[in-house]
C-alpha cells in the first residue's frame, strides 16, 4: 500500500478490500418510487441454472474485462482514464470506452485481461497499476459478460500513452465524481428485444473544444464505480430501469 503514495489512494485501496459484489437476489433500490441508479442489480449469468434468458450463452467465450484506472488529479480529485475508440473499428467506432476487451486463452483471470488490453490499447504498463477490486459483472448489448477491474495508478506522470491507432484514436481522463452529478447528464428512453423499455445514460465531457459523450455500458459501469467508491447515490432520478436493471429483472422473472 505504501507504493500508492497518496493518502486518498491508500484509503480507497483499504475500502475496496472489503467490497463484496451484490448477489442476484439483492433488490434494486427505489427512493420515492424512482430508480436512482445507485444499485444497478447487475446479474451474474453464471448463477442460477434456470435463467432462461442466458441459458444458451457460453460465458467463457463471451467474457470480457475493462480497467477502471484511477489516479489522483492535481487538485486532489479522483480521475479515470478513458479512450475514444478508433473510427477504423467495425464495432462502436468513435465511442468512448474504458480500456479493455475479450478474455483470451492466456489470461488467468479478469484482471489479467483488463491489464493486457490496457497495455495493448494505450501502452499502460501493468506494473504501474495496483489492482484493488473487481465489480460485479455487467451484460453488454451483444451479451458479453463484462467485469470492471478497479486499478490505482500512484503517479500519472509515469504513464506515457502509446496508442494503438488501429483500436484507439485518443486517450483522456475525467473526474470520477461527475458520474454522480446531474451536470452534463442526459438519458434517453430505448427499447430492447422489441418490448422492454430502459434508460440509456449519457454524460457529455468537454475538453479542448471537443465534446466526448460517455454513454451506455461505459456510463453505467462508471456510475456504479463512483457510487461504490464515494458511497453515495447519484443526484439524478429516473423512472425506468437502465439496461442492467432490466436484465436483472428479466433474470429474476425467469427463475422458478
Give this prediction's pTM.
Answer: 0.84
Q: Is residue 41 part of a domain?
A: no
How would you class 33 by CB atoms within 10 Å of its CB: exposed for 0-12, middle for 13-18, buried for 19 or more?
exposed
Q: Is residue 64 part of a domain?
A: yes
Q: Domain holding 170: CATH number?
A: 3.90.79.10
**Which pLDDT value is given to residue 82?**
98
Q: Is residue 44 part of a domain?
A: no
Average pLDDT over residues 65-90: 95
Q: Is residue 228 part of a domain?
A: yes
pLDDT 10s digits, 206-243:
998 899 999 999 999 999 999 999 999 999 877 777 88
Task: Identify the band that residue 102 occupies on the pLDDT scale cut at 50, 70 and 90.
Answer: very high
DSSP string, 153-177: ES-GGG------TTTEEEEEEEEGG
**Which pLDDT value is given to residue 2?**
55
C-alpha to C-alpha distances, 235 to 30, 104, 157, 227, nearest whole angstrom = 13, 38, 32, 11
Percent of the chain as helix, strand, coil, to the nearest 5: 25, 30, 45
Domain count within the chain: 1
Q: What is the DSSP letter of 3?
A: G
Report angle CA 135, 90, 213 to the nearest 5 degrees: 55
Domain that holds residue 66: 7-16+59-253
Q: In the beta sheet, which residues pair with residue 215?
A: 202
Amino acid at each position: 500500500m505504501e507504493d500508492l503514495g497518496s493518502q486518498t489512494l491508500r484509503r480507497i485501496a483499504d475500502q475496496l478490500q472489503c467490497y463484496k459484489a451484490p448477489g442476484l437476489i439483492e433488490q434494486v433500490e427505489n427512493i420515492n418510487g424512482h430508480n436512482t441508479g445507485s444499485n444497478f442489480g447487475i446479474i451474474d449469468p453464471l448463477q442460477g441454472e434456470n435463467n432462461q434468458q442466458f441459458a444458451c450463452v457460453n460465458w467463457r467465450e463471451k467474457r470480457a474485462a475493462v480497467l477502471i484506472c484511477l489516479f489522483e488529479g492535481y487538485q486532489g480529485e479522483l480521475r479515470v482514464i478513458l479512450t475514444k475508440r478508433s473510427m477504423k473499428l467495425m464495432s462502436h467506432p468513435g465511442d468512448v470506452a474504458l480500456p479493455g476487451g475479450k478474455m483470451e486463452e492466456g489470461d488467468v483471470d479478469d484482471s489479467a485481461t483488463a491489464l493486457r488490453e490496457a497495455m495493448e490499447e494505450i501502452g499502460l504498463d501493468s506494473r504501474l497499476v495496483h489492482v484493488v477490486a473487481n465489480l460485479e459483472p455487467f451484460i453488454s448489448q451483444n451479451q458479453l459478460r463484462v467485469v470492471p477491474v478497479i486499478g490505482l495508478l500512484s503517479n500519472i506522470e509515469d504513464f506515457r500513452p502509446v496508442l494503438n491507432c488501429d483500436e484507439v484514436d485518443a486517450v483522456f481522463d475525467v473526474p470520477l465524481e461527475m458520474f454522480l452529478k446531474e451536470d452534463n447528464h442526459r438519458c434517453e428512453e430505448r427499447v430492447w428485444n422489441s418490448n422492454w423499455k430502459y434508460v440509456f445514460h449519457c454524460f457529455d465531457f468537454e475538453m479542448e473544444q471537443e465534446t466526448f459523450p460517455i454513454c451506455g455500458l461505459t456510463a453505467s459501469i462508471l456510475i456504479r464505480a463512483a457510487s461504490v467508491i464515494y458511497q453515495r447515490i447519484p443526484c439524478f432520478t429516473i423512472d425506468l430501469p437502465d439496461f442492467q436493471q432490466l436484465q436483472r429483472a428479466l433474470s429474476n422473472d425467469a427463475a422458478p
